[in-house]
Each structure stands twice: as structure tokens, then as C-alpha cells.
Chain A
């Protein structure tokens, strides 16, 4: 019963956060310089045309009413129409969301096992050459800007060696393996960017519990270091690891605009940037909302998983 209550509470909190984010998102896009109607009409904005368009877009209503209308539509699965193309936003957004999730999933499949595995290994062999190498290399890759890592990979693997394509253009009806081939370089780039964070956190939180009395007991029982780390320390360190993995997974979805541009990948980030420059606010809001859902959703799931992994976290009083 306790665990169910906890899950329900977390989910409710997630929904509340989402509503708060949606309000901020709506306010934020309203704050962009320039009225939507005049941004849309540009040089051909006559007072009459502006008035007609404002009425058409419902800009004459008070902001909170517009927000409520928008929210009502969103809750019913209607994201509205794009201002620039006039087509439903969902039809443009969904294939791109699929692309974004595909790339994020691909990167996660490489990055998460790699980072957690290396982190555990580093903890087991603390201070060894392997530990130091893993630390130095992962910190080096996270320290370079993403576009720099991308260009280095392109120069080496696409231009010089010719093993992998530098263009990650994917399209509907593309063969699965072609898609994997096209997205390998961006997936590796993203992997390099997120590995360090997860690796360090796995190593640190594992080592942190190593000084606990029960670990000492385990050593005194005569268990090997790897056994102690894997069966005694790691389960108790899982909470923070799960959280940091979730943050990085969310980053793979919401923070990859630069990588999308460099590899010409048709993802949501690119769509959002296009929409911002064209002041296509409904599209900006829809993209922002999708990003918020992914971010909050993953974090909520992470909290729940962390709680499941460590019963002590289920009760708030002790935490």
C-alpha cells in the first residue's frame, strides 16, 4: 500500500509540475518580442490585415483565456495548427518525435551500459590505471563542445575513412538498418557527451557506500572486492545512479539541437528552432510541451525506480 501511495504521489507531483511548466511555456512565448500577427505578416502588415489576423488567431482574448483554450485542446490531443503552414502540428511533430526518440534510444543503448559498467569497474579497481583512464577520457569528451566532437568524428570516420555517413538524413519508409547506419555517428557523439556524468556518478556513489559498516563487515567475512561491490555496495548506491541516468536520458531527447544541426537530423529540436525563428508559437509550445513531458516523465519514473530499489526512500521521514 505504501509503495502505491508513493507512486501516486509522485505521479500527481509530475502532473502538477507539467501544468506549471505549460503556464511558463505559454507566458514565455508571449514574451517574445513582437506580436504574433505582425511577426507573421512581416512587411505586408497593414492595420486592417493585422486586425483580421489577430481576430483569427484569437489574440484579442485575455491571455489566461487563450491559455485555457490551448490547454483544453492539448488535453484532448489537439495541439492546434501551425501558423506558417496551416497544417496540424501533430502531423509534423510526430514523425520528428519518432526520429528524436530513435536517436536517443540508440545513444542510450550504447551509453548507459557503457557508463554504468565502466563506473562499476572503476569502483572495483579504484585508483587503477583503468580507473584513471576512464575518468580522464570521459571527462575529456564531456569538456569539448558537442559540435566539436561531431566534427572530429565526421572528419575521421566520414571524410577520411569513409566508414560511416556524415549525413543522418532519415525519412519515412527507410530500412531499419539503413537508419541505424545513418544515425551511428550522431549516436556516438551523444554517447561521448553523456557517458562521463553517469560514469562518475556510478563510481562515486558506489565508493560512497564502501565506507559503510556493513561493507566493512562483508570484507571481514572474506568476500572479494568485486563481490562486495556488486552485491553489497551497488544495490545501495542505485538510487543516485538511476537519477543521473534519467537526467541523461532526458538530455538525449531535449538537448540535442546542436547535434541535429551538424548531422542534419530531422528531429524535434530542429523543428523547434525553425519555429522560433518564424515565430510559429503554437509549434514552439507543442515542442516545449513534448520536451517537458519527456523530462518530467523520466524523472518521475527515476524517482519511483530509485524508491523501489531502496526501501528506505519510500518513507519521506527518514530521507
Chain B
């Protein structure tokens, strides 16, 4: 029954998908910069966003989104089905009041009433079904694999739909929150000028350069749609983005350079927003290839790396140490009780001896295209591993073609995962035995069984226990050496209010346009 759910374009991960976080983990995250008044939203003004992650080949068709700029523009114009809020809860957007039968295979959702598109049409179930179906069947949408288990979507009434799945999934509301699934009127195809229900309409669009959207009517979402118009500029160079913010040409920018954030914070009139995220750097070991076949060798390497040093040096502290399993602290099913792998040369030597070796020499293939700082991390690893008699030979590989020629081809190489909205997705995509992107070639039948059971379990505490067990399995026997989780960093001028961290993606889950207000 389990179809591989992992055929999404790799670039999507490179575009850095952040992970949903648990409310507890996030509420403690600091909003750095000047203290912001908890004031009420004010209407008016022209918001200018400077964003990396756009190119001349972008389109506003939601089935083509691979980078962040079109996603952000999409959310200015169109609404999604479900919104993941700042506390990592699935909350209603155009769908509300959902429930499922036991087994999580049959679901009913209400469609929000009294919503109109910018062309005057009233939203109903047909629009929702059409918009979901854009990502099913013959579609080339990156969201298609998530929805593969949906066998039928029925219109129950003008304001209610029913979804049937071939295999249950308790995370369906999270799957439907995917940023590709944006709602347009039934039968709509004019993607040069999308019609949506969100706060703004498209005024001018030049792909990869600039976009203007304008507010033409009151927005249905309370407290949102505050600014009169939004100008989104594509600025892919991080220095140029920062300069544009500092010289006041844009009001907010995404994706800061961790190496200069501390300097940026010292500037007046600028605030920095840091979001814990599921994106992580990995050194993947092929569990079917010598010498990594032996779990003792894998454990030796896991104890031979100094994670804290890497977080402090490469990320300048803007991240968290990893524990060789992919579920981040922000996820509701993160298991904090799993013993943290720390830097311990003696333990590394012990495991090496268990493997019957006194010294080990491995080739580590890296490129900064895997993740920013991969080469630096590998060099730190090389230094710390030497203390245990492990020689790490760094093989610097060209960025061009890295994912085709090195990743999943070389037994030990740097890799990157953008994280996924749910634990189930992350584990299914990269750790299930038959997953096409199981880049560690780690195979464990017990794990696979547990994964499928947890997917349909509706009892939260039972699920948490299952996911805890799976995290423990990966951490202690898996082939992924995960030194760190990388935080999202963004900044805004002090004119921008309401800019907050988000557990999903940076720029408030890319909904910054409708959320913030200007003073």
C-alpha cells in the first residue's frame, strides 16, 4: 500500500523547506532586535520585499513552484487550503472543521463560506476540488506525490468536500497545507494573471525581476492584508539584498548570511528574525558499502565529529546540533530523551576497535552546493576525527552536477535535507527502505512497519512513542551523520511590524505580505 511519496524535485529541497515546529519550541525563540511594541495592525503603505530565490524562468502557476519568490507571490494573490500557524498547528484557511473516520482514510472538510475571488465569483466546493486536482492525475506538480494516496475527492454540498485515501494518513491536513495547493476558480487556466481569494491582485509581473500587487477590497482574514500594495524585488545576491535593506530601498529581506548577521544586528533601524527550522546538513554514509557496512564504523564517525564546534563556527551559532536523526526540535514528535552523540574521541576509538580496526581512512566528498559551509564543516570534522586515529580525506567536488554524479553515488558525501512539514514525510522520503531517495541505503524492516503504523494512528501519545522509537533507531544505527540543523535568518527595517518567526518557512511561511504592517 505504501507508495513512495518522495518524487519531489530535489531543487525543492535546495530551495530550503523549513520544518514545522512544536509550539513549545518556538514560543521561546527570541525576536531579535529592538523591542517591538505589541501594537495593533495599521492599514496603509507600500511594502517592499527583497527576496532571494527567484529567476527569469519562474511562473505563477502553482504546479511549477520550485523557489520561494513565486511561492510568496502566490500567497499574496491566492489562499491555501490549510495554514500552519506560528505554533505549528494546522489551522483553517479556505478549508475548516475537518474530521476523519478511524484509520484516517476518509475525511470530511467544510469549505469556508462568504468568500469571493477577485473577479467576483463566490468560493464553493467545486473551486476547491479543481484546485486540488491540478496536482493530481497527469499533473507534473511537485505536490503530486504527497497527494498520491488520495483516490477520490467528492463534493458533498456547495460547502463541503469528502476525501478518500487508499491508505490512511493522520497528517492529511498538513499535506493539504502544502504551498503548491493554492485555490483558483473552477476551470481557471490563465496563469499569467492568477485570480485568487487572498488580499492582493496582480498589477505587474516581470519574472525574476519585480512584481507589484495591490489591495483592491477588504480582506476576509482578520488582522491581515494591512498594507495597500506590495512590491517584490528579486535580489539573489545576499550582499546586494543586505545593502538594499540598509540603504532603505526595501523593507524586509530573506535568507541572511550567518557570517554577517552579528554585524547587521548592530545597525540601527534593523531587526533580525531567527526561526528554528528542519533544514539540516548531513554527511551520508552508504550502509551497504565498506567500511560503512559495519555500524561500529558509523558510530565511530558519529562520535568523532565535534558538532558544537561546527554550529559555533560554520553557523556562527545560528543553528542547533543534530543527533543523527532528521526530526528537528521544532517538530511535535521530536524525542528529546534520545542520548545526544557528543564529541568523544575515546568512544570513537572504542567503536573502531569493535569494528576490528585500529585506524580508519575514509574519503569524504563535499561541495558547498550540498549546503553552505559543507566544506568548512568537513574540515572541522577532519581535525576532530584525527584525535581518534580516523583520517578523513576531503574530496572537493564541483558544484555543477553534484546531485547527479556524487550524491547517492559516492559512499560518503555531504548532503542536505530541507526538512518536511511532518515527521512521517521526512522519514518516508529518506529513511524508508524502498524510498528512492534513501541516500544512506539503510534498510530496517521494523522501522518500515512502525512508520506505516504511525501514519494511520490517530492517538497522539501513541504516535509520539512510535516516532520516538523510529528516531532512536535512526540515530543509533542509521547512516546519516547529521551535525547540525540550520536556522532561518531574515531581517526587516523598524518600519515593518508584526514580522515573526515561523516554524514552516521563512518570511512567516511566505505569507509575510498579508501579515505585516508599516509605521
Q: Do A and B bind each other?
A: yes
With contacts A44-B7, A162-B247, A264-B233 taken as known, whether A167 is within 8 angstroms of B55 at the C-beta atoms is: no
A2 at interface (Cβ–Cβ under 8 A)? no
Segment among B237-245, B455-463, B470-478 that sits at the interface with chain A: B237-245
Q: Which of A159, A167, A274 contacts B56 (CB 8 A)?
A: A274
Residue in contact with A261 in the complex, picked from B210, B236, B248, CB distance below 8 Å: B236
- How many chain B residues touch A (CB < 8 A): the figure is 32
Does B165 reach chain A (CB closer than 8 Å)? no
Chain A: CB-nearest residue to B398: A33
Whether B57 contacts A166 by the Cβ 8 Å rule is no
Docked complex Cα distance between A264 and B241 (Å) = 9
Tell me the smallest distance from the CB of B231 to a CB of chain A, in Å. Answer: 10
Whether the pair B233, A271 counts as a contact (CB closer than 8 A) is no
Please encode chain B, from 35 to 52, with 1 for each CB lying within 8 Å of some chain A CB and 0 for all others. 000000000000000100
Against B, the Cβ 8 Å flags (1 = close, 0 = not) of A256-285 are 000001111010001100100010100000
Q: Are A169 and B246 in contact (CB under 8 A)?
A: no
Q: Is B214 interfacial (CB-CB < 8 Å)?
A: no
Q: A274-B55, A274-B208 are in contact. Are A166 and B401 (CB under 8 A)?
A: no
Q: Is B234 an interface residue (CB 8 A)?
A: yes
Q: A262-B239, A262-B240 are in contact. Are A43 and B56 (CB under 8 A)?
A: no
Residues in A whose Cβ lies below 8 Å from that of B265: none
Q: Give the CA-CA distance A158 to B240 in the complex, in Å.
A: 11
Judge whether B183 is part of the interface by a CB distance below 8 angstroms: no
Tell me whether B56 and A92 are in contact (CB under 8 A).
yes
B243 touches A266 (CB 8 A): no
Pair count A-B, CB < 8 A: 81
Is residue A224 contacting chain B, with contact meaning CB distance below 8 A?
no
* Given A169-B233, A171-B206, A261 and B240 contact (CB-CB distance below 8 Å): yes
- B516 contacts partner chain A, Cβ-Cβ < 8 Å: no
- Asked whether A6 is an interface residue with its Cβ less than 8 Å from the other chain, the reply is no
- Chain B residues near A85 (CB, 8 Å)? 56-57, 59
B152 interface hit (Cβ, 8 Å): no
A166 to B237, CA, bound (A): 12
Find out whether the CB atom of B248 lies under 8 angstroms from the CB atom of A151. no
Known: A171-B210, A274-B56. A166 touches B244 (CB 8 A): yes
Are B240 and A167 interface neighbours, CB within 8 A?
A: yes
CB neighbours of A42 from chain B (8 A): 9-11
Residue of A nearest to B207 (CB): A85
CA distance A34 to B220 in the complex (A): 49
Complex Cα gap A261–B239 (Å): 10
The residue of chain A having its C-beta at the shortest distance from the C-beta of B206 within the complex is: A171
* Residues of B235-264 contacting chain A, CB below 8 A: 235-237, 239-240, 243-244, 246-250
- Is the Cβ of A264 less than 8 Å from the Cβ of B237? yes
Asked whether any CB of chain A lies closer than 8 Å to the CB of B190, the reply is no
Does B404 count as interface, using CB distance less than 8 angstroms?
A: yes
Are A263 and B240 in contact, with the CB atoms below 8 A? yes
Q: A166-B247, A167-B244 are in contact. Are A151 and B239 (CB under 8 A)?
A: yes
Task: Say yes or no for A107: interface residue by CB 8 A criterion.
Answer: no
Residue of A nearest to B248 (CB): A162
List of A residues within 8 angstroms of B204 by Cβ: 171
Which of A154, A169, A278 has a CB less than 8 Å from the CB of B209? Answer: A169
B1-30 with Cβ < 8 A to chain A: 7, 9-11
0/1 interface trace, chain A 52-90, chain B, CB 8 Å (1 if under): 000000000000000000000000000000101100000
Partner of A167, one of B10, B11, B59, B233: B233
Query: Is residue A165 contacting chain B, with contact meaning CB distance below 8 A?
Result: yes
When distances are taken between beta carbons in the complex, the residues of chain A under 8 Å from B246 are 158-159
Contacts of A127 in B (CB 8 A): none
Given contacts A171-B206, A274-B55, contact A34 B249 (CB under 8 A): no
What residues on A are CB-neighbors of B236 within 8 Å?
A: 261, 264
How far, in whole Å, are A43 and B247 apart by their CA atoms in the complex? 41
Q: What distance in Å separates the Cβ of B257 from its nearest Cβ neighbour in chain A?
A: 13
Contacts of A271 in B (CB 8 A): 56
* Residue contact A159 to B57, C-beta cutoff 8 Å: no
Q: Enumerate chain A residues within 8 angstroms of B10, measured Cβ to Cβ.
A: 42-43
Partner of B400, one of A33, A43, A171: A33
Could you tell me the distance between the alpha carbons of A85 and B191 in the complex, rounded to whole angstroms? 13
Instruction: Report A66 CB to chain B, min CB distance, Å.
Output: 23
Q: Is A145 an interface residue (CB 8 A)?
A: no
Report Cα–Cα, A274/B235, bound state, in Å: 14
Pair B404/A34 contact, Cβ less than 8 Å: yes
Residue contact B57 to A274, C-beta cutoff 8 Å: yes
- Interface 1/0s, chain B 375-405, versus A by CB < 8 A? 0000000000000000000000000110010
- Which residue of A264, A270, A271 has the most chain B CB atoms within 10 A of its CB atom? A264
Is the C-beta of A172 less than 8 angstroms from some C-beta in chain B?
Answer: yes
* B239-A159 in contact (CB<8A): no
- B9 x A43 contact (CB < 8 A): yes
Q: What residue of chain B has the Cβ atom nearest to residue A270's Cβ?
A: B56
Q: Mark A25-48, 1 if CB is under 8 A from B, else 0.
A: 000000001100000001110000
CA of A171 to CA of B236 in the docked complex: distance in angstroms? 17
By beta carbon, the residue of chain B nearest A276 is B400
Contacts of A43 in B (CB 8 A): 7, 9-10
- Beyond A42-B11, A169-B209: 5 further Cβ-contacts under 8 Å? A43-B10, A151-B239, A151-B243, A167-B235, A262-B240
In the complex, 10 of the A-B residue pairs with CB atoms within 8 angstroms, ordered by the A residue number, are A85-B57, A165-B247, A166-B244, A167-B240, A169-B209, A169-B210, A171-B209, A264-B236, A274-B208, A278-B57
Residues in chain B within 8 A of chain A (CB atoms): 7, 9-11, 50, 55-57, 59, 140, 204, 206, 208-210, 233-237, 239-240, 243-244, 246-250, 400-401, 404
Q: Which residues of A contact B (CB under 8 A)?
A: 33-34, 42-44, 82, 84-85, 92, 151, 154-155, 158-159, 162, 165-167, 169, 171-172, 261-264, 266, 270-271, 274, 278, 280
Top 6 A-B residue pairs of the complex, sorted by shortest distance between their CB atoms:
A158-B247, A166-B243, A84-B57, A159-B246, A154-B243, A264-B235
